[in-house]
């Protein structure tokens, strides 16, 4: 019979009441702040009805601005998550290597890129290399810088997920693999890594949410993603605040959908493990 690790005690009646009170207070504060912001925007004439009409009456708002913005966001996110998974698998396996120098090298790389802000990496990658080199065409330099930064940061996070996922597996599986004559590397590739990747799937989907959100940082290096196109839309139709609000709603809908998918995937995996 297995026991589940308990990280904290279950709250009692007083603690639950205290949590409810704090939740209500927090909700009231959030509503109050939202109301103050709304009043300020309304007083400045930023939320008038005519500013919202183009989103319903003018197809070019979507075809010329928002959809290209979404395309830019999805392009950067898709390339980055594929490269980040490759990066994470390689360096995650490197951190599990029995060869100490390789393990230390991979550890230093992973910890370094996990610690550096994504925007800072984008700025250095763009102005320090891609904007001045001939490696990629000039029009693709911002995309290359965004993808580089997102790949390095999220790849480092995925590498740590791989390491922790393998370490979380029962020790008996490693011992059984070694007992039948497999080398430590074969045990890692054939037994441990496939199980760790399956357990990591919800976390990987969650990391995709991080990639999508962080792609908006490309705004700082002129990458044409959703936030940048929303600024252009606001300038063209004189409705900057509504354009940013719509962009924010699109981000929330996309990321919420991915989060719900991650929860669904985690539930399916738990049911599968329970039946096994």
Tens digits of residue pLDDT in 184-210: 777 777 777 777 777 777 788 888 889
Q: What percentage of the chain has pLDDT greater than the value 70?
A: 95
Residue closest to 76 by CA, chosen among 256, 249, 225: 225
Nearest to 272 by CA among 198, 192, 176: 198
Q: Are 117 and 44 in contact (CB under 8 A)?
A: no
**3-state secondary structure string across 71-132:** HHHHHHHHHHHHHHHHHHHHHHHHHCCCCHHHHHHHHHHHHHHHHCCHHHHHHHHHHHHHCC
User: Is-contact 246 197, C-beta < 8 A?
Assistant: no
Do the Cβ atoms of 215 and 77 come closer than 8 Å?
yes
Q: What mean pLDDT is reported for the chain?
A: 86
Is 113 within 8 Å of 155 (Cβ atoms)?
yes
Whether 168 shows a pLDDT value over 60: the answer reads yes
Q: Which helix (H) or strand (E) holds 24?
A: helix 13-43
pLDDT band at 236 (very low <50, low <70, confident <90, very high): very high
Q: What is the pLDDT of residues 116-158, one digit of tens each?
A: 999 999 999 999 999 888 888 889 999 999 999 999 999 999 9
Length of the chain: 276
CA–CA separation, 139 vs 63, rounded Å?
21
Q: Taking residues 78-86, report their average pLDDT.
A: 93
Question: Which of 29-38, 65-74, 167-176 bottoms out in mean pLDDT, i.e. has the lowest?
Answer: 167-176
At residue 273, the pLDDT reads 65
Distance CA 151, CA 47 (A): 38
Residue 93, pLDDT > 50, answer yes
Please give the share of the chain, as a percent, with pLDDT higher than 90. 51
Quickly state the pLDDT bin for 252 (edges 50, 70, 90): very high
- How much is the pLDDT for 227? 93
Residue 85 burial by CB count (10 A; 0-12/13-18/19+): exposed, middle or buried?
Answer: buried
d(CA 22, CA 26): 6
The verdict on domain 65-275 having CATH code 3.50.50.60 is no
- Nearest residue to 209 via CA among 263, 162, 142, 141: 263
Lowest mean pLDDT among 63-72, 180-189, 259-268: 180-189
Q: Is the pLDDT of residue 247 over 80?
A: yes
Query: Burial letters for 21-52: b for 16+ Cβ neighbours within 10 Å, e otherwise?
Result: eeeeeeeeeeeeeeeeeeeeeeeeeebeeebe
More confident residue, 265 or 105: 105
Q: 244 is written with which tokens?
A: 């940013």
User: Residue 162 corresponds to which tokens in the numbers above?
Assistant: 């791989």
pLDDT for position 36: 92
């Amino acid at each position: 019979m297995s026991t589940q690790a308990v990280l904290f005690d279950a709250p009692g009646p007083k603690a639950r009441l205290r949590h409810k009170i704090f939740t209500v207070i927090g909700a009231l504060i959030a509503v109050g702040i939202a109301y103050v912001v709304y009043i300020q925007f309304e007083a400045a004439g930023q939320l008038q009805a005519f500013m919202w009409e183009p989103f319903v009456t003018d197809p070019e708002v979507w075809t010329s601005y928002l959809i290209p913005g979404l395309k830019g966001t999805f392009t950067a996110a898709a390339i980055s998550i594929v490269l980040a998974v490759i990066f994470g698998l390689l360096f995650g396996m490197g951190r599990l290597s029995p060869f100490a120098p390789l393990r230390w090298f991979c550890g230093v790389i992973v910890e370094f890129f996990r610690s550096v802000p994504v925007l800072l990496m984008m700025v250095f990658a763009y102005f320090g290399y891609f904007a001045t080199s001939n490696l990629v065409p000039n029009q693709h330099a911002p995309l290359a810088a965004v993808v580089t930064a997102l790949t390095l940061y999220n790849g480092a996070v995925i590498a740590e997920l791989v390491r922790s996922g393998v370490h979380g597996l029962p020790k008996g599986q490693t011992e059984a693999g070694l007992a039948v004559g497999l080398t430590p590397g074969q045990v890692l590739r054939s037994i441990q890594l496939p199980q760790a990747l399956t357990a990591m799937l919800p976390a990987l989907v969650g990391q995709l949410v991080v990639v999508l959100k962080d792609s908006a940082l490309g705004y700082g290096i002129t990458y044409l993603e959703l936030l940048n196109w929303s600024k252009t839309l606001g300038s063209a139709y004189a409705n900057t605040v509504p354009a940013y609000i719509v962009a924010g709603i699109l981000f929330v809908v996309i990321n919420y959908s991915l989060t719900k998918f991650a929860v669904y995937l985690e539930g399916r995996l738990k049911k599968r493990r329970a039946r096994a």
